[in-house]
Structures are given as structure tokens and as C-alpha cells.
Amino acid sequence: GSRCTIATIGEILVEFVSHRRNCGLTEIADYSGPYPSGAPAIFLDQAARMGAATEMIGGVGADGFGRSVIARLQADGVGTRGITVNEARTTGVAFVSYYDDGSRDFIFHLTGTASDHFAVPQGLLVPAETFLHVSAASLGNAAMRGMIMATVREVAAAGGRISLDPNSRPDLMRDAAVRAVLDEVMACCTCLMPSTSDLAFMFPDLSEAAAIEHLLGAKVEVIVIKRGAAGATVVGRGERHDFAGHSVEEVDPTGAGDCFGGTFVGLLAQGASLRTAGEQANAAGAMAVTRRGPMEGNSSPAEIAAFLKQRSGPLP
């Protein structure tokens, strides 16, 4: 409904991007950063930019990195009352370097930092009016897993909505505890947003159509399939919309999935149709890969509209 607030619980980080490719973070090179990051934060920043009411729940240190992320989130309209500023620990940090084939190496300093030492503030969320987005990567962290699952159960029981980005990194999925809670979230979410590689990993024996059929269960109303450069597909009950990928120059693909998701859920929460939400998200995801830095590629509705207008060809 109109009073719904989109919330995420999870890691808030800063990221440093190596300007040298193919060195796997082993060589001395120029880096840029600190870029605001963390999948739940990127997602929510974009949802707020789309005009949705949001609350971010997470933690940062009382340091420059933490202040820079909070300032960005606030500037973009994200609710930050749920962010714990931890005097005793420092803000989480990630380093990333790319290979020419598009793959990437990450080093995360997350466990034991301010980024996984926080609490969900009592009374901040009204469960029945919450649209809780779960980024599965956060479930790999035991401290965050407990907080996320407690809130998932509260929101589901109260009739609020849940969305899930399954982000099936192999190391994550080998963890039986993660697998179990992921299945639980999948069973109570209304909106599921796998990439094609997530689907292949979760359902190696099923065709895409069979996997969609399998997933469109009692609760799941919308499935979004993210296809990278090839675009996206949105499937609802009795409707399907395929969006071709926009041709863009890929500079930094990190964060495109979260930007896509934040655009899509941000619009859905405000009552947009699946077609409109998918079209806008597909454009936002394409724009996201053209800028260095995971959150730097997020965009406003006006920027998305201008991009789509330009892509639809010259006016008569």
C-alpha cells in the first residue's frame, strides 16, 4: 500500500576499486575509493531515489568511511535511523579487481567490524507495512543471518512483503545453515529476483521455464530474471515481460543487480505495473555498469527517463 516502507538489514561497506585488471589484488596499483557499498545499501539507495520510503538497518564505525556512506544515503533520501554508529569498531571495507573476462576478485573485511555489529532497533519497522528486501549474501554472515531471519518471520507473520535476491555464490550455498534459511525466505517471499547464474546454480536439472514454474508458488507473485547484458524478464501470474539489454559500455558491473532490484521493488512498492517496473529497472541496471563504483551507477527517475528516451531513437 501507499504507507509501505522498504527496509534492508545488512552490510554497509566502503569499496576500493583497483584500476589494474587481471592482477587478482596481488600487485601495487592505483585504487579509487572509498565508494559507498554493500548490496543492501546499494539496493536501498536506489529504491529511495525512485521515491520509495526506506529504512536501512546496519552498522558503520565512527570514522570517515562510515560518515561518507551515511552522508550519501541521507542525500539520496534513505532513512538512516536504523544505522548504528559503533564507537568501538571500524567500518567494513571491500577491495575489488577485475579480469578481462568480466570476473572479479574480492577481499572483504566485514566479520568483526562495525558492519556486522549492530542491532535491529525496536519499533523502527511496522511489520505489516514493511517491504523487507533480503540480499542472500548477507545471510552468509552468522550475526546478520539471525537478525534478518527474525525480521523476515515478523514481517511474513504480519502480512508484510518480502523480496529476495538469491545471489547464489557457490561458497555461500555450500553452507547448510545458509541453504536452510534461504529456502525459508524463498517460501515466504512475494518477489524473487535471481540472475540466470543463480537459477543454473539452484536448479541445475531444470530448464528456465521449469524453474519459473517451480518457483511461482503460493506466496511468490513475481519472478524477475536478471540476464546481465542480455536484459531481464519479469514473470507474474498470467503475465510475462521480456526486456532486451541496452547496449552500453561496461565499466564496472558490480552493483548492477542491486540497482536493478532497488529500482524494481522501489516502483512496485509505489504501485507501479510489472511492465513499468521492469522497463525502468532494465534501464537503471544498464546505466549502473557504465560508472566505476558499486553505488555510483545508481540513478534518478529523470535520468532513467532521459536514457530510455534517447534509446527509443530520434523523435520524428
| Nearest residue (CB) to ligand ATP, 146 versus 240 | 240
The yes or no reply on residue 231 touching ligand ATP (CB under 6 A) is yes
SS3 sequence of 290-304: CCCCCCCCCCCHHHH
The radius of gyration computed from the CA coordinates of the chain, to the nearest angstrom, equals: 18
- d(Cα 171, Cα 113) in Å, to the nearest integer? 21
Residues 137-176 vs ligand ATP: string with x where CB under 6 A? ------------------------------x---------
- Which stretch in 70-78, 175-183, 266-274, 279-287 sits in contact with ligand ATP by CB under 6 A? 279-287
Which residues, other chains included, contact 11 with Cβ-Cβ below 8 Å and sequence gap of 6+? Answer: 38, 39, 40, 41, 58, 92, 110, 115, 116, 137, 138, 141, 144
Question: Judged by CB under 6 A, does residue 36 bind ligand ATP?
Answer: no
CA distances (Å), 177 to each of 39, 118, 142, 215, in order? 20, 21, 9, 21
Torsion of CA 223, 224, 226, 229, to 10 degrees: 140
Q: Is 228 in the site for ligand ATP (CB under 6 A)?
A: yes
| Contact indicator for 150, 180 with CB cutoff of 8 Å | no
Shorter beta-carbon distance to ligand ATP: residue 76 or 198:
198
Q: Which does 285 bind (CB under 5 to 8 A by kind): Mg ion, ligand ATP, none?
A: ligand ATP
Return the range that interacts with Mg ion (CB under 5 A); candidates 101-109, 114-122, 167-175, 205-213. 167-175
Q: Is residue 255 involved in binding ligand ATP (CB under 6 A)?
A: yes
Binding residues for ligand ATP, per CB under 6 A?
167, 195, 226-229, 231-232, 245-246, 248, 250, 253-258, 260, 282, 285-286, 289
Binding residues for Mg ion, per CB under 5 A?
167, 257
